[in-house]
Chain A
Amino acid sequence: GAVVSQHPSRVICKSGTSVKIECRSLDFQATTMFWYRQFPKQSLMLMATSNEGSKATYEQGVEKDKFLINHASLTLSTLTVTSAHPEDSSFYICSARDKDREGSDTQYFGPGTRLTVL
């Protein structure tokens, strides 16, 4: 149980285009999903907390108009990187918390999306 998927796993795009990344909880419902970014040999940095049916909460320094987050259902959150630039190239990882196991608060991670902006 507690499987999280991400799509696509890898994407290469031109500078100025927008890229959408999907995060799905496959066998559980997630009221809360998290989006992280990880640069090579660095730690995971939380970008935003996505709550089903409400606006995402962004961390300091993360532009909400550049990184659009939508959490339309209990099993799906999307991150759209708008007008991507080479400095946005990174490993984007989502995680989800099981609604029915809120007490444990374990976050389950998706496999990540490698974004390369040319």
Chain B
Amino acid sequence: GQNIDQPTEMTATEGAIVQINCTYQTSGFNGLFWYQQHAGEAPTFLSYNVLDGLEEKGRFSSFLSRSKGYSYLLLKELQMKDSASYLCAPRGGNKLTFGTGTQLKVEL
């Protein structure tokens, strides 16, 4: 089965760092994706982890611990345009399963 847990909402200040956590229980797990979705738009790909550890990509980093069923997305130097929903999506077999997302609000 699939079970994904991430906070519903977070608020952070422009220029700060924020960490969005995700825990999952996924049958046949073989990788985890993070997507960004602005209201009324389709998700855009941010990162992919298949091995344990940290993947860094500019202002965004993602961490995975397979044994703990845990991942986080780290956003640095927050900008107002980063206000969006962030979706944790573990893959089981051939399919992605999406959490309900974390709505991030960046304030001045």
**Residues of A in contact with B (beta carbons under 8 Å apart):** 32, 34, 36, 41-46, 49, 91, 93, 104-112, 114
Q: List 29 A-B contacts (CB under 8 A).
A: A32-B94, A34-B95, A36-B98, A41-B100, A42-B100, A43-B87, A43-B99, A43-B100, A43-B101, A44-B43, A45-B98, A46-B95, A46-B97, A49-B94, A49-B95, A91-B40, A93-B42, A104-B48, A105-B31, A106-B33, A107-B45, A107-B96, A109-B35, A109-B43, A109-B44, A110-B42, A112-B41, A112-B42, A114-B40
Q: A111 contacts B96, CB within 8 Å?
A: no
Number of B residues, CB within 8 Å of A: 20
0/1 per residue, B34-53, Cβ < 8 Å to A?
Answer: 01000011111100100000
A44 touches B98 (CB 8 A): yes
Interface residues of B in 69-108 (CB under 8 A from A): 87, 91, 94-101
Question: What residue of chain A has the Cβ atom nearest to residue B100's Cβ?
Answer: A43
- Which residues of B are in contact with A by a Cβ distance under 8 Å? 31, 33, 35, 40-45, 48, 87, 91, 94-101
Which 3 residue pairs are nearest across A and B when measured between Cβ atoms? A109-B42, A44-B98, A43-B98
The answer to whether B48 touches A106, judged by C-beta atoms less than 8 angstroms apart, is yes
A14 CA / B81 CA spacing, docked (Å): 37
Shortest beta-carbon distance from A104 to chain B in Å: 7
Given contacts A105-B91, A108-B45, A46 and B96 within 8 Å (CB-CB): yes
Nearest chain A residue, comparing its CB with the CB of B95: A46
B92 to chain A minimum Cβ distance, whole angstroms, is 11
Contact status of A111 and B42, CB under 8 A, knowing A43-B101, A46-B97, A104-B48: yes
Q: Are A111 and B99 in contact (CB under 8 A)?
A: no
Complex: A106 Cα to B31 Cα, angstroms:
10
**A105 CA / B91 CA spacing, docked (Å):** 10
Q: Which residue of B lies closest to A94 (CB)?
A: B42
Closest to A112 in B: B42
Closest beta carbon of chain A to B44's beta carbon, Å: 7
- Across-interface contacts of A49 in B (CB, < 8 A): 94-95
Q: How far is the CB of B101 from chain A (nearest CB, A)?
A: 6
